[in-house]
Amino acid sequence: MEAQRTDHAAGIDVPTLFFAAAGIAAAAALPFVRARPNRIADGAVRLLADVDPAALVVLLVLWGIAGTAALVQIAERSRARLAILVSLAAPLCAILAAGIVTGSIAGHDPIARVSLSAGFWATAIIGYSSFLSASARAAFPGGLLRRVLGFTVPVILGALVFSGFLDAVSVMREWAVQKTVFLAETGNHLALSGTAVLIGTVLGITIGVSSVRRVAVRRTAFFILNIVQTIPSLALFGLLILPLTALSHRFPLLHEWGISGIGRAPAILALSFYAMLPIARNTFTALSQIPASLREAGIGMGMTRGQLLARVELPLALPLILAGVRTAAVQSVGNAVVAALIGAGGLGVFIFQGLGQYAADMILLGTLPVIAMAVVTDMMMGGLVRVMTPRPLRGEAA
Amino acid sequence: MKRLFIFVMISLLLAAGGSLLFAADSGKPVVVGSKIDTEGSLLGKMIVKLLAAKGIPVVDKVGFGTTDVVRKAIVAGELDLYPEYTGNGGFFFDGTDPNVWKDEKKGYNTVKKLDMDKNGLVWLTPAPANNTWAIAVRKDVADKEKLVTLADMARFANAGGKLKLAGSEEFITRPDALPAFQTAYGFTLKNNQLLSLSGGNTALTEAAAARGTDGVNFAMAYGTDGSLFTLGLVVLKDTLGVQPIYEPTAIVRKDTLARYPAIDAVLKPVFLSLDLTTLQSLNARIAVNGESADTVASDYLTKKGFLK
């Protein structure tokens, strides 16, 4: 990467050229929307050229500029900055076109559905990839501008969604119908995965710490956790139903607390089990890697075992432990989808009802927020790992 | 071992804590659930609205889970009430005479008695609509070949007509599904006349027939599916009564009904009003038009004067 940061271009900018060609192909040749007379009919796909020729021209010009700049000899930095602008402008143009096109086709007919097709999604993905590739080369000071720019498209998208500009897009029609349920289930989903990660973290760290001290604990705990990890989530929920039902019948108090074979208890328990493995494994690895000399120094200073753990071992192990929590959190957000099948709610409700009705938009209504949650969780945990890493170690960890 | 036990107990306690973060039940409301499908949501929402309007405290758990899950939940007392289908008694109670479920009255009476004796569950008044397994055909094919009943389909198949049926793996292999139709009406579909979608539901098979995917023109369907009309499909009549009758019925725990006896009288007229075409059109508003089950339920109840 350092080698590319020269003042003058060494030749053709292959990545940008590739993205520009792909962008032109996506805009011109892939169907932009699919118009259906109702929610389940097949409908017909339309090219951007047919529904919004002006937007097509804008997209072709944008990618054309980036492509031309990739071919001619100009400063590498200006070339990358130009590519960044195009990478952001192209998806934005596609989003604007989406709002205009869907509005004009389905604006007056509440039953008609216009969904965004391959051409739209490809433009978005190509723009995003091109942005990442170009911004890695643009060398912005401190990467701050890069981060700010990276948020412009999501922020504008959010603004357009809330302004009602995209209301005629089929997913937004599902949202309009399901609004209250959607908010409740999103909260449910967050609570399910959040609780599971919390439990998984507490128990995972406990297992990791005791595994370092006792071989027997290590063998048993990791044996069980590894097996659990291979059980598909729905099967694990199913396996928990019987013992939990039996327990809650045997001890009415548990039942009063809301622990029963079906609903949130088995879902949270299963998700916690999944969350434990990455956290326990990372805790164990991190603690085993601490140089013996550091421990000896601590002991030499008269630290007790607990002090050694709290003041020396855990702080050093923290970044790796948090990386385990990061994995567990992203995984929980995804796994919690299946909880909808055992009465625990969550965004899976829309995915499974959508599958049952063959309604792709409803499936999307459940899937998009799960993806968003996973990405945001990953970013937040990534930031936390960076902050928690002692400054001298940051270079390699971040 | 001791450690393992402590570990398990700690997990349970934490899970309990987690569960407590959610709805803490106060008093003894009626927990209304439903299956996670279109008709389940529709009926569930109707029940929730009707009970609430009568002043009965309700907890809305509509869209709770699969048949297996709602069933376990009501037996365990985690749900108090949900809509089930009479013909499913054949699955819940092994060893019953399969012919019982093909008779509307006998099937209802049998499941009502068995479920009361074994699980303390009361089956209320069923809706006069049969949501059974059926075979649907493209309307253009039906019109051209004059197909109205399954006997017509048998004639068409035996005369070498161009026919391809989409069905779930279960529908194609289970003795009481397609094989039963074939035996009763005297036709046999070859492997190349079948499109088997393992784990497939009627939404998929109907879409396959409507779109003519892979040459499919016949599809596994349910009697009350709302999308049939829109997709240009018609259901072939089962004149010989091969299939069990599946009438939607609210089932409620005995103790819950004793606490709120009004439930029976509140739901009865509404369920009696839900005949086949009514349910089809209401299901269609959800599946085809994309309206929410909540809206469709209150709309219907208000229009019919069940709710003010």
Tens of pLDDT, residue by residue over B76-133, are: 888 999 999 999 998 899 888 888 998 999 999 999 999 999 999 999 999 999 988 8
Show the low-confidence residues of chain A (pLDDT under 50): 1-7, 9, 396-398
Residue B24 has a pLDDT of 42
Of chain A, the end-to-end C-alpha distance in Å amounts to 17
Residue A398 has a pLDDT of 39
Q: How far is A330 from chain B (nearest CA, A)?
A: 19
Q: Which residue of A has its CA nearest to B66?
A: A341
Output helix, strand, coil percentages for chain B, rounded to the nearest 5. 50, 20, 30
Q: How far is A178 from chain B (nearest CA, A)?
A: 7
Q: What percent of chain B is predicted at pLDDT more than 70?
A: 91
Virtual torsion, Cα A340, A346, A348, A353, nearest 10 deg = 80
> Chain B neighbours among A 146-165 (CB < 8 Å)?
none
10 Å CB burial of residue B145 (0-12, 13-18, 19+) is middle
Higher confidence at residue B63 or residue B125?
A: B125
- pLDDT of B220 > 60? The answer is yes
Instruction: Residue B227: list chain A partners with CB under 8 A.
Output: 40, 357
Res. B8 pLDDT band, cuts 50 70 90: low
Residue A207 has a pLDDT of 94
Residue A3 has a pLDDT of 46
Asked if residues A343 and B40 have their Cβ atoms less than 8 Å apart, the reply is no
- pLDDT of B18 > 60? The answer is no
> Any chain B CB within 8 A of the CB of A342?
yes
Residue A266 has a pLDDT of 87
Q: What's the average model confidence in pLDDT over B134-152?
A: 94
Tens of pLDDT, residue by residue over B259-269, are: 999 999 999 99
Query: What DSSP string describes chain B?
Result: -HHHHHHHHHHHHHHHHHHHHSPPP-S--EEEEEESSHHHHHHHHHHHHHHHHTT--EEEEEEEE-HHHHHHHHHHTS-SEEEEEGGGHHHHSTT--GGGGGSHHHHHHHHHHHHHHHH-EEEEEEPS----EEEEEEHHHHHHHT--BHHHHHHHHHTT----EEEEHHHHHSTTSHHHHHHHHT----GGGEEEETT--HHHHHHHHHHTGGG--EEEEETT-SSTTTTTEEEPB-TT--SPP--EEEEEEHHHHHH-THHHHHHHHHHHH--HHHHHHHHHHHHTS---HHHHHHHHHHHTTS--
> Any chain B CB within 8 A of the CB of A340?
yes
Residue B26 has a pLDDT of 43
Q: What percent of chain B is predicted at pLDDT more than 90?
A: 61
Contact between B41 and A245 using a beta-carbon 8 Å cutoff: no
Residue B114 has a pLDDT of 96
Residue A355 has a pLDDT of 86
Contact between B19 and A199 using a beta-carbon 8 Å cutoff: no
Q: Which residue of B has its CA nearest to A192?
A: B18
Q: What's the average model confidence in pLDDT over B273-290?
A: 90
Q: Which of A157-166, B48-57, B180-189 has the lowest mean pLDDT?
A: A157-166
Report chain B's mean pLDDT, rounded to a whole number.
Answer: 88
Contact between A262 and B36 using a beta-carbon 8 Å cutoff: no
Residue B229 burial (CB count, 10 A): 15
Asked if residues B81 and B33 have their Cβ atoms less than 8 Å apart, the reply is yes
> Which residues lie across from B31 on neighbouring strands?
B59
Beta-sheet pairing, B121-126 with A113-116: unpaired
Contact between A343 and B286 using a beta-carbon 8 Å cutoff: no
Residue B250 has a pLDDT of 97
- Please tell me the distance from the alpha carbon of residue B194 to that of residue A71, in angstroms, as a whole number: 55
Higher confidence at residue A71 or residue B27?
A: A71
> Any chain B CB within 8 A of the CB of A209?
no
| 3-class SS of residue B164 | coil
Residue A96 has a pLDDT of 94
Asked if residues B10 and A199 have their Cβ atoms less than 8 Å apart, the reply is no
Kindly give, in sequence order, each residue whose CB lies less than 8 Å from that of residue A335, ignoring residues fewer than 6 positions away: A193, A233, A270, A271, A274
